[in-house]
Structure 1
Amino acid sequence: MALPFIGMLLVLALDFFSHSAVTVEPALTAVPALAAVVSRRTWYPLLIGLFTEIAAFALAGYHEVLGQSVHSATVFAIALVAGIGWVSATLRVRQEQALADAQLVAEIARRVLLRSVPDRVGSVRAAVHYAAAAEHASIGGDLYEVVNTRHGVRAVIGDVRGKGLAAVETAAAVLGAFREAAHQEPALDRVAAWLAVSLDRALHENDHPGVEEEFVTLLLIGVRPDGTAEIVNCGHPAPLLLRPGQAPTPLELPETVPPLGVLDPADVRPPVQRIRVEPGDRVLLYTDGVIEARDHRGAFYPLAERLPYCAIGGPVEVLRRLHDDVVRHVGRKLGDDAAMLLLQYEPILPQLPHQSTQLAQLPPGARGTATPTS
């Protein structure tokens, strides 16, 4: 805010100490322009223009050039620049407000489409980290969701081909179908088939251009309370299993299945991989924006190699460390949407009946210090 006044004082000082017969009064025309740059207040260039006009008349009176053309031209130029500065500041404020409104709408859409994942979902602790590639955007073509069903905890992560609103529409269709199918279908491969049908219907109903080329890579995982984990992979990068004290293990399926949208929905019959997970085991799901992040030499981010160094703390902290590590590897903003979903198996141990009875019989103030007896 003070910079225009400093500029004005510098011009006045230069004119006073130069001891030259030539006035530097025309240099004052830059002061209102400077005011338009440094301030978001639309009236500020006009105010500075008024003070600058006063300074111009003072200089002209000091040099006795009030009637000369150089002074008249300077006065006109200051008024013109102040007016242009006012228009420029007004347009900039309107554009900033429009951008803020658009970001607010995008954030609301993100919260509706990509809902926040609670710290605990059934028998797992969960965390998600999502970064959209589009500048000023908070949503893109990646999708994720975690739900607790009567079949156990089920999660999905996927990557829609392309970017922009078309990708967001496709992601919304897949997520909406998953939130329904995850509860209705007892078999995880049938959930994938349900999503294939819903995706095909959404693409044809919305009349997407190039619908034959649209597809979604998808990975489904289900974790039952007894530690049985099921995985269905439709053309998506394999998840990583991280067990305490062991190197990350890619959960590759023996049979490759193409992404949804490539095959006819009736032909989508993906195999189901089953593994056992123990308390403390973690499964990392991610999109290709993570593993395809390149540094300045063109080297891809070595996720499996870097994961053990970032797997410190809870799921939220692990994903934060991973994201920061990816950004350091790239050295700039990521060029593609990147989503990571971390599931940590921590079953809720059932309370023994005699423990519940003892706690219920204790006074309220003593329940926190009681020690169950065997």
Structure 2
Amino acid sequence: MSATGWIRERLAGPVPGAVPGAVTGTWPKTALALPFIGMLLVVSLDYFSNSSVTVEPAITAVPALAAVVSRRTWYPLVIGLFTELAAFVMALYNDVLGQSVHTATVFAIALVAGIGWVSATLRLRQEKALADAQVVAEIARRVLLRPVPDRVGSVRAAVHYAAAAAHARIGGDLYEVVNTRHGVRAVVGDVRGKGLNAVETAAAVLGAFREAAHQEPELAKVAGWLAVSLDRALHENDHPGVEEEFVTLVLIGVGPDDVAEIVNCGHPAPLLLRADEPVRALESAESVPPLGVLDPADVRPPVHRVRVHPGDRVLLFTDGVIEARDHRGVFYPLAERLPQVASGGPVEILDRIHDDVVRHVGRTLGDDAAMLLLQYEPTAHHLPHQPDHQAAAPA
């Protein structure tokens, strides 16, 4: 199916899995009867009213209601014709056919029907433009933030991303997981700011990571590679306020020796979930500023190493999760809530965390929020080599 056909399909009906009417403002088909119901109510009120004053002018609201509930441009005009007919019937019944109140009602119905036709036309054009923008955003998201497979080397992986910009589907947060000859390597980062500049910066960092993760045997040198690429991208793209641009990120590598290496550059520390143990933050002894603050030649972050066991889960996230506040201004306590929602597979865990954050905030999140969960499940191919301690007996 072409992109245009896909757009038309999106406009023709609700998006699977989305809230009805959230994007295109569509109403259920039963709502098309509302103008007729409103017309019937006005006519009945005029018929059963004992007052000498006619309520005929109230019927002018019916074409406006038709423009609201319908996505067909001709529907307000058709309802306008039925409304004019009902107005003439009411005028004959009340014997006001030649009076100014009836004449004003007739002109008002025609005017409202015309305005409804114009508003419906403009709304459909805006919905089509929004659908086109969503196609572009979806393509950009799949190019920049590629889907993470369920199994990457020795780990199971899942990601959950929510952009702050409505319908944008992409923002300044970044993530990636790759399987290299040095083991599984992943990154989660947060670009300062929002908008197109943040997306361009995230693209530069991700492109550098996808290359450096395969080339550099040391994880700290991967961070140095990212710092160089970020500095070059910021100056080449001539970003406004380039001196204030920076990226916080955390790198993690899981090698074949059951050891996870973590490099943190000004980012929230990952959380380790291990059975029968409290949640532990994998923090380095030395704090390092975000990339873009120091000269790339001075970026030498320490490497924090921790031994992992089968079933261990490491959660990497951006500050959009832990800085989500409720109506009292209380931050979301991720480390405290994690044991209560950490059940099921990686995808289910991230879905539960996101739902719990939304319940805590009470509304949609105001900042980009990305979460990456790695669950260490090595297969026989990924298990570390066990030396044979049984030496052969001498002949």
After TM superposition, the score normalised by the length of structure 2 is 0.87
Which of 185, 189, 193 is the aligned partner of 1:154? 185
Please give the per-residue CA displacement for 1:35-81, whole angstroms capped at 9, x wherever unaligned.
Answer: 11111111111000000111111122223332222222211111111
Kindly provide the CA deviation profile for residues 3-39 of structure 1, in whole angstroms up to 9, marking residues without a partner as x. Answer: 1111111111111112443322222211111111111
Aligned counterpart in structure 1 of residue 222 of structure 2, from 167, 188, 191: 191
Cα deviation, 1:316-352, whole Å, max 9, x if unaligned, reads 111111111111111211121111111111111149x
The yes-or-no answer on 1:124 pairing with 2:172 is no
Which one of 61, 68, 71 corresponds to residue 30 of structure 1?
61
Q: d(CA) in 2 for partners of 1:233 and 1:278?
A: 22
Gaps of at least 5 residues in structure 1 are 352-374
**What CA distance in whole angstroms lies between the structure 2 residues aligned with 1:100 and 1:22?**
48
**Structure 2 match to 1:69:** 100
SS of 2:249 mapped into structure 1: strand
Larger displacement relative to structure 2 (332-341 or 20-29): 20-29
User: Which residue pairs with 2:14 in the alignment?
Assistant: none
Of residues 95, 98, 110, the one that matches 2:126 is: 95
Question: Is 2:372 aligned against 1:341?
Answer: yes
Shift of 1:92: 1.1
Deviations along 1:80-139, one digit per CA (max 9) or x if unpaired, are 110001001111111122112212211211111111110100011111111111122211
Aligned to 1:51: 82
Segment drifting more, 236-245 vs 99-108: 99-108
Question: Which of the numbers 280, 300, 318 marks the counterpart of 2:331?
Answer: 300
Instruction: Read off the aligned partner of 1:306 and give its amino acid letter.
Output: R
Structure 2 SS opposite 1:92: helix
- Helix, strand or coil: the match of 1:159? strand
**Counterpart Cα distance in 2 of 1:258 and 1:8:** 67
Give the distance between the partners of 1:225 and 1:344, measured in 2 at CA.
Answer: 14
Of residues 57-66 and 269-278 in structure 1, the stretch that sits farther from structure 2 once superposed is 57-66
Distance in 2, Cα, partners of 1:28 & 1:118: 58
| Worse overlay, 42-51 or 88-97 | 88-97
The one of 172, 179, 189 aligned to 2:210: 179
> For residues 257 and 97 of structure 1, what CA distance do their matches in structure 2 show?
46
Secondary structure of the residue that 2:327 maps to in structure 1? coil
How far has the Cα of 1:282 moved from its partner? 1.0
Matched, 1:78 2:109: yes
When structure 1 is superposed on structure 2, of 139-148 and 219-228 the one drifting more is: 219-228
Unaligned regions of 5+ residues in structure 2, if any?
Answer: 1-31, 383-395
Cα distance in 1 for partners of 2:304, 2:52 equals 90
Q: Which amino acid aligns with 1:89?
A: A
Aligned partner of 1:264 in structure 2 is 295
Q: CA RMSD in A?
A: 1.3
Find the counterpart in structure 2 of residue 225 from structure 1: 256
Q: Quick one: which of 122, 133, 142 aligns to 2:173?
A: 142
What's the secondary structure of 1:97's corresponding residue?
A: helix
Q: Which residue of 1 aligns with 2:34?
A: 3
Distance 1:122 1:350 in 2: 9
Residue identity in the other structure for 2:179: N
CA deviations over 1:129-156 (Å, ceiling 9, x no partner):
1111112221111100000011110000
SS of residue matched to 2:314: strand
1:259-315 CA distance string (max 9 Å, x none): 000001111111111221111111111111111111222221111111111111111
Is 1:288 aligned to residue 319 of structure 2?
A: yes
The equivalent of 1:213 in structure 2 is 244
Aligned residue pairs total: 351
User: Matched residues in 2 for 1:85 and 1:152: separation?
Assistant: 62
Measure the CA separation in 2 of the matches of 1:199 and 1:100.
32
Q: Which amino acid aligns with 1:93?
A: L
Q: Distance in 1 between matches of 2:319 and 2:183?
A: 27
- Look up the equivalent residue of 2:169 and give its one-letter code: S
Residues in 1 aligned to 2:132 and 2:319: alpha-carbon distance in whole angstroms: 30
CA drift at 1:228: 1.6
Question: Which residue does the alignment assign to 1:113?
Answer: 144
Give TM-score scaled by structure 1 length.
0.91
Structure 2 CA distance for aligned equivalents of residues 209 and 350 of structure 1: 49
AA of the residue aligned to 1:264: D
Alpha-carbon distance between aligned partners in 2 of 1:293 and 1:21, rounded to the nearest angstrom: 60
Is 1:328 matched up with 2:359? yes
Match in the other structure for 2:52: 21
Q: Deviations over 1:219-257 (max 9, x none)?
A: 000101221211111111111111111111111101111
1:359: which partner in 2? Answer: none
Distance in 2 (alpha carbons) for counterparts of 1:166 and 1:104 = 20
Structure 1: distance between partners of 2:217 and 2:357: 37
SS at match of 1:2: helix
